[in-house]
């Protein structure tokens, strides 16, 4: 029997392949973590701006929430004097057309440049009389009633007077009676609760009418 010294001892080079295989497994196991870290890093890069000075991209909600440009408010404002088309509506009978024209010319030619409605001049051709009269009253701040013998005999003038009183029964200064050619006793009973302008003066009461209109316009400005 040969002695034990005749068999060579096994070499240790087999340890090297095992060591390489262990290193390969460690590298393989570490790759998913690296991929996960890379994915998270990419997601952070996309969701955050590249620089603090760069603005974020404009989204749909930002575009829809933009502040609209300011609206210019001018003479066409819906408040005060410009909320109605006319400052004065002159109510008169057909036979007093000349006197009404003189009053309108005086008011429009003043420094205040009052806007007046004169029926035969400003009514819509072909429009219904009732509709035109009501529209003229509602589109005017003040109503001047040119009360004369012809006014008291005209049913349309009485209609305008009652319509004006029904629209603004408690509005002081809006309805301005201008009485001409009548005595105080002939003053309409419907207007007894308000003062009238006496048209027997040198200017026919036009100046007082203008001042009354201006006082009312100042209350709403």
For residue 44, tell me if it sits in a domain. no
For residue 99, tell me if it sits in a domain. yes
Q: 174-197 burial, b if ≥16 CB within 10 A, otherwise e?
A: bbbbbbbebeeeeebeebeeeebb
For residue 16, tell me if it sits in a domain. no
Beta carbons of 134 and 124 less than 8 angstroms apart? no
Q: Which residues contact 149 (CB under 8 A, 6 or more apart)?
A: 181, 182, 186
For residue 23, tell me if it sits in a domain. no
Domain count across the chain:
1
Q: What is the CATH number of the domain that holds 116?
A: 3.40.50.10140
Rounded Cα distance, 141 and 220, in Å: 10
**Phi-psi category of residue 186: left, alpha or beta, with phi > 0 → left and psi -120 to 50 → alpha:** alpha
Rounded Cα distance, 37 and 34, in Å: 5
Q: Which residues form the domain of 208?
A: 80-220
Q: Could you read off the pLDDT tens digit of each residue along the chain, which spans 221 residues? A: 444 444 445 454 444 455 555 565 566 555 545 444 544 444 444 444 444 444 444 333 333 333 333 333 444 455 689 999 999 999 999 999 999 999 999 999 999 899 999 999 999 999 999 999 999 999 999 999 999 999 999 999 999 999 998 876 666 789 999 999 999 999 999 999 899 999 998 899 999 999 999 999 999 98
Q: What is the largest CA-CA distance in the chain?
A: 168
For residue 55, tell me if it sits in a domain. no
For residue 24, tell me if it sits in a domain. no
Please give the model's pTM, rounded to 2 decimal places.
Answer: 0.64
For residue 191, tell me if it sits in a domain. yes
């Amino acid at each position: 029997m040969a002695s034990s010294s005749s068999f060579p001892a096994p070499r240790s080079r087999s340890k090297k392949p095992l060591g390489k295989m262990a290193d390969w497994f460690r590298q393989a196991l570490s790759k998913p973590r690296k991929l996960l870290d890379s994915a998270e890093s990419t997601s952070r890069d996309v969701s955050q701006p590249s620089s603090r000075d760069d603005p974020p991209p404009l989204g749909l909600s930002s575009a829809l929430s933009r502040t609209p440009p300011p609206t210019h408010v001018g003479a066409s404002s819906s408040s005060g004097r410009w909320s109605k088309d006319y400052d004065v509506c002159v109510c008169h009978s057909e036979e007093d057309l000349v006197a009404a024209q003189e009053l309108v010319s005086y008011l429009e030619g003043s420094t205040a440049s009052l806007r007046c409605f004169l029926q035969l001049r400003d009514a819509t051709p072909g429009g219904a009389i009732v509709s035109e009269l009501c529209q003229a009253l509602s589109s005017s701040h003040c109503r001047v009633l040119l009360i004369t013998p012809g006014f008291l005999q005209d049913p349309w003038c009485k209609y305008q007077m009652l319509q004006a009183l029904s629209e603004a029964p408690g509005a002081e200064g809006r309805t301005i009676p201008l009485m001409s050619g009548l005595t105080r006793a002939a003053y309409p009973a419907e207007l007894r609760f308000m003062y009238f302008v006496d048209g027997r003066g040198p200017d026919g009461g036009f100046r007082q009418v203008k001042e009354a209109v201006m006082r009312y316009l100042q209350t709403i400005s």
